[in-house]
Copies of this chain bind each other. A is one copy, B any other.
Amino acid sequence: METSAAASPEAFLAMLAGIVGASQVLTREEDVARHVSDWRRRYPGRARAVVRPANTQEVSRVVAACAAHGVPIVPQGGNTGLVGGSTPDASGTEVVLSLSRMNAVRSVDPLDGSLTLEAGCTVLAAQEAAAAAGRLFPLSLASEGSATIGGVLSTNAGGEQVLRYGNARDLALGLEVVLPDGRILEALTALRKDNTGYDLKHLFIGGEGTLGVITAATFKLFAPPRKVATAWVAVRDPQAAVELLARLTGAVGERVTAFELIGREALSQVLAHAGPGMRNPLADAPAWAVLFDVSEASARLDPTPAVEEVLGAAMDDGLVADAVLAATGAQAHALWALREHVPEAQRLDGPSIKHDISVAVSRIPAFIAEADAALQALMPGIRICCFGHVGDGNLHYNQSKPAGMADADFLAREDAVHDAVHAIAARLQGSISAEHGIGRLKQSALLHHKPAVALDLMARIKQAVDPANLFNPGRLLPRDRLSSHQEPSR
């Protein structure tokens, strides 16, 4: 055990160097630069040091040393987050605990359908390890080449195949976690069933590094798809999109792997700032388009005729105006490129205000109608770039400025726009952060919209697991929410 006596800053760093080696305690500006600010540079920070342990035992010893000296820790994976949850604050007191060196694939077992990885593995590496064993690791997101297993678990990342396979939470079978006092929670199980007490892994998944640091995880794997039917469909309106999803699910079951909505403004921006080969798949530019995948694991079965039947009936019933089914993998790829280009096109268009809301799937149409009306009243001419994972009830409901407005005038209204959108999501019993988390960015919205009982329970959990508030302090739950439960509870 490290000593708990007070140590000078230099002595403390020497102690860390004694655990991980001097070369793995980074303090020079050029070495720490990519670790102390988020990639969007919204949260520039400073770190006491960036420490890169090589294994779980070293993580445990680093954490114990920090605990003994009251030094706060910011766990960090690929640092691809959007809410300021994985970088140090400006105080220069926090240690960044980077998992980047812990990137081993510990095991893959096709019979169990399981994959065990260290936290610093990228999502892409996980996909590749599964594919090499003839299985599918279904988590897939834009940042998968950089985002790490520890990060996607700590933020319960979603991505484009949640509809079929679930969020990161749903894919995890077991975790190994270093707790805020340095002890190791060994729960790295490949069990499909285990009812021996509270399922502790769910505290750390989506916990944003505030309750401990995930050092390894075991995931479920799936049968890889052998055929995928990809369609781009002009739908009458968002209600038609929701009804089409229900019909499709009724006809082919859980094969519906992704179901995305793309509004006219989003497609216009993509076509205005198109990458190579990007063009409108249909003759007209629809007010609303849907892009979906239906995937099939069996080489002997083809879901395409069932999909065509659903689309034909939906045309007859006026839900669908036009549709194209990709005939080749390249065509499917081109359709998906349009969808994936939306964020970049919006960036090229100019400043944007972004949301990541969710509501129950059936309330998507009401959300869009109400939010559109509220924002047009707030800022006439505002351009609404609406797209997202309708199958999950999750929209990236973003805004670009009205034609002719100055950037600064638009961004000066950002909080008012957020408030209007979040209020509607909340009134429809939705979420103000469907997949990006809270971090530092969304704390005020969290405090405003989360029920007080839930906030109190979260604070109690945090204080039970990290009583000194040393793990990612001030992220997720603001510091001032952490003493309320000391009072009598009624």
Contacts and interface: CB of A to CB of B under 8 A. Distances in A.
A56 interface: no
Interface string A445-476: 01001110111011011011101000000001
Interface string A238-271: 0000110110011111110000000000000000
A437 interface: yes
Given A199-B206, A251-B298, A194 B431 contact: yes
Given A182-B490, A360-B109, A195 B438 contact: yes
Interface residues of A, number: 110
Nearest to A392: B192
A449 to B, nearest CB: 8
Nearest to A168: B195
A287 interface: no
A145 interface: no
B253 A181 contact: no
Contact of A190 (B253, B360, B391): B360
A205 interface: yes
Contacts of A464: 460-461, 463-464, 485
Contacts of A463: 464
Interface stretch (A303-311, A321-329, A403-411): A303-311
Contacts of A182: 490
A193 B362 contact: no
A393 B134 contact: no
A451 B185 contact: yes
B454 A200 contact: yes
Quick one: copies of this chain in the complex?
Answer: 2
Contacts of A461: 198, 200, 203, 461, 464-465
Given A189-B429, A195-B206, A246 B110 contact: yes
A197 B433 CA distance: 9
Given A253-B223, A253-B297, A303-B301, A162 B193 contact: yes
A61 to B, nearest CB: 12
Nearest to A462: B198
B490 A249 contact: no
A359 interface: yes
Interface in A422-455: 429-438, 442, 446, 449-451, 453-455
Contacts of A305: 300
B193 A158 contact: yes
Interface in A135-186: 155-156, 158, 162-163, 167, 169-170, 179, 181-186
A77 interface: no
Contact of A111 (B194, B243, B297, B298): B243
A457 B190 contact: no
A75 interface: no
A300 B248 CA distance: 13
A196 interface: yes
A202 interface: yes
A278 interface: no
A91 interface: no
Nearest to A192: B392
A12 interface: no
Of A155, A250, A389, most buried by chain B (CB within 10 Å of CB) is A250
Contacts of A167: 193
A112 to B, nearest CB: 5
A110 B361 CA distance: 10
Contact of A254 (B246, B254, B309): B254
Nearest to A197: B458
Contacts of A436: 195
A70 to B, nearest CB: 13
B246 A362 contact: no
B253 A186 contact: no
A64 interface: yes
A79 interface: no
Contacts of A490: 1, 64, 67-68, 181-183
A336 to B, nearest CB: 20
A251 B224 CA distance: 10
Contacts of A351: none
28 contacts: A112-B361, A113-B246, A113-B249, A158-B193, A169-B199, A181-B490, A186-B451, A187-B451, A189-B431, A190-B360, A190-B393, A193-B434, A197-B438, A197-B450, A197-B454, A197-B476, A198-B203, A198-B458, A200-B458, A223-B252, A223-B254, A251-B298, A253-B296, A255-B298, A301-B303, A301-B306, A457-B465, A461-B461
